[in-house]
Amino acid sequence: MKKWKVGLGILAAFLAIGLTGCSNNANKGTKHVTMWVHVSNEDPEGKALLKNIHDFNRENKHGYKASVQFIPRSGSGGGYEDKINAALNSNSLPDVLTLDGPNTAAYAKAKIIQPIGKYITNQDDFLKTIRNQGTYNGKLYAIGYSESSIGFYYNKTMFKKAGIKDSELPTLKNPWDWNQFETICKKLKDYYHEPVINMSLNDHSEMSLYSLAPFMWSAGGNICNPAGTTANGYFNSKKTASAFQFIQDMVKKGYTTISPKDKGFETGSYAMMMTGTWEVQTLNNQYKDLKWGVLPYPVSPKTHKAVSPTGSWQYAMTNVAKNKEAAGALINFLVNRKCMYRSDMANTVLPARKSVSKMMVPKVDPAMRFFIKQNQTTGKARPVLVNYPQITRTFAETVQDVTLYQKNPNVQKVLDAQTKVMQKYLEN
């Protein structure tokens, strides 16, 4: 499971349990701040965080002392989420914790976290997508310390052999539309006689909505209205249907597959792979002989609107924080320019601040520079919905249904049925 993914199922328990928001006023003056994070202290991210915590303890002017507990997540999302769930039952949450972007609304609604807007300085320096993913009911409840994105990785050697010239390649300013993309796919398939791109259609987790929703957004479609109250007329609109038709056509025409080979791109079976920023580090470290590049999302031929996905982990203050000023100071410190630059460079991830982007661009390779630019110019945050776990699962089920094109040839019929499921979750 990729590092940005989250075990969303645990949120149902959060919503059921809730919190009263009562803190221990007797300890209100404490200068000790406790923190839980979902990574290992042996990971690059964990090691960078330890340095940042050390600097906070040494540099803050109020004598605050922070301690961090590392609770690595398992492949299924357990470990960290299990620990939080147990703490909810025993009212023993820390002052500060990490949470993934789509969880914001559920955590806030269940009163697990509280607004932190007044503690975060220079908010305009954060990307709008970062502020959006951490905002619920108009209030900032969490702030991201990194970003993520998806790109279309391509094998330069395979493209060249198939007769695709560099001059034909898309750019962020001039992306392929879906028709042009399919033309390239046909050229590759005719040459190699097998699927040409792994779109991770066998992944029915959060990856499904995260990576495929940009097609829907490019077409002008959406999951629901801006208020998050109705899916009818949005998820089953003709605009949304056009995006799912494109996905179905990619499978039907044999350009991609719902059962891709493991490491097919890395080993030269597929000319392209649609995946996240984390692949940059993998390719650089483990496949040094592979000549590759990254291309932007193809866009709807009707709108030509470029959209890419965003979102990652955040810091938040729990509702039982013993000293709000101390917890707020810690979060604000950990997302300052120095700390963010240290952690994002160590972890090879995209920055959440515009100023840190400027610091990183001269230091990173062309692929990361591409992702930083794509993130800033075409990024869109996933919807902040209380029942997001059920929404993202329904989206993945919709993708699964339309890709089984022989069983479900009518995309609109699938969307009409799944819109009713979406609506049920939006109303709860």
Average pLDDT over residues 291-303: 98
* Phi-psi sector, 341: left (phi>0), alpha (psi -120 to 50), beta: alpha
Residue 66: strand pairing partners: 33
At residue 226, the pLDDT reads: 93
Does residue 73 surpass a pLDDT of 90? Answer: no
pLDDT tens for 322-363 read: 999 999 999 999 999 999 999 999 998 999 999 999 999 999
Tokens at 329, concatenated: 């100071």
Q: Rounded to an integer, what distance in angstroms lies between the CA atom of residue 54 and that of residue 326?
A: 15
Q: Rounded to an integer, what distance in angstroms lies between the CA atom of residue 123 and that of residue 23?
A: 27
Q: Rounded to an integer, what distance in angstroms lies between the CA atom of residue 145 and that of residue 209?
A: 22
Does residue 121 surpass a pLDDT of 70? Answer: yes
CB 382 within 8 A of CB 102: yes
Q: Rounded to an integer, what distance in angstroms lies between the CA atom of residue 338 and that of residue 76?
A: 32
Instruction: Please give the span between the terminal C-alpha atoms of the chain, in angstroms, as a whole number.
Output: 29
Across the chain, which distance is largest between two alpha carbons, in Å? 72
At residue 428, the pLDDT reads: 75
CB 218 within 8 A of CB 297: yes
Q: Which of 18-27, 29-38, 150-159, 335-344 has the lowest mean pLDDT?
A: 18-27
One-letter amino acid for residue 39 of the chain? V
Q: Rounded to an integer, what distance in angstroms lies between the CA atom of residue 379 and that of residue 150?
A: 10
Tokens at 55, concatenated: 């600097």
CB 240 within 8 A of CB 261: no
CB 243 within 8 A of CB 299: no
Q: Rounded to an integer, what distance in angstroms lies between the CA atom of residue 19 and that of residue 21?
A: 5
In this prediction, what percent of the chain has a pLDDT beyond 90?
89
CB within 8 A of 48, min separation 6: which ones?
342, 343, 346, 347
CB 15 within 8 A of CB 107: no
At residue 76, the pLDDT reads: 54
Nearest to 66 by CA among 329, 352, 296: 329
